[in-house]
Amino acid sequence: MGKSALWNIVANHFATLRNDISGKPKFGDFFIQICVPILFGVAASCLGIHLSDVSLVVEGVTIVSGLLFSMSVFLFQLRISIPGDKRITSSDITLIDECMINALWAITCGLALALYLIICGAAGWTAQGIVGAILTGVAVTLALHFLLVIAMCLKRLWRAYERIAMHRQ
């Protein structure tokens, strides 16, 4: 796929789910980011929940994705402005880089979720039957993962602010 491939964003996002000290993957982060959304999606499917109108969800997801895009522009600008600053440590730079990676993954998830909902909603696939319940469960899984990635972005943005702007280590 070349220039349109997003695999680096996917790989880099999941590479941030690690212990800062040891560098080893954090099972808890993977569980929260992957397993919890899947469990909620399966539960929604098993309960027979259906999305009958996806328009408000699409609006919300696209607005939040757009706001995340502006956050990524801010992070990019911050990242290119700090290399000469002696107060900024390599771990501060790593934190900003990880926040950027997570923001890009959140944008990707949000746009994929919006596209998925538009297609399913336009075809009426989520509104009824067992297939609708399954497709709704997938939407719940994607939406919860999207929200959890946003939460990680906020956590890292706060930590960067705390370390850099407030000078707390």
Does residue 17 belong to any structural domain of this protein? no
How many angstroms from the chain centroid is the CA of residue 91?
A: 22
What is the spatial distance between Cα 75 and Cα 96, in angstroms, rounded to a whole number? 7
Total structural domains in the chain? 1
Per-residue pLDDT tens over the stretch 84-98:
777 788 888 999 999
Distances from the Cα of 7 to the Cαs of 1, 79, 126, in angstroms?
10, 22, 28
Domain span at residue 83? Answer: 28-165
Does residue 145 belong to any structural domain of this protein? yes
Print pLDDT tens along the chain (169 aa).
677 778 999 999 999 999 888 889 999 999 999 999 999 999 999 999 999 899 999 999 999 999 999 999 999 998 998 877 777 888 889 999 999 999 999 999 999 999 999 999 999 999 889 999 999 999 999 999 999 999 999 999 999 899 888 877 7
Does residue 23 belong to any structural domain of this protein? no
Does residue 14 belong to any structural domain of this protein? no
Distances from the Cα of 49 to the Cαs of 15, 42, 59, in angstroms?
33, 10, 20
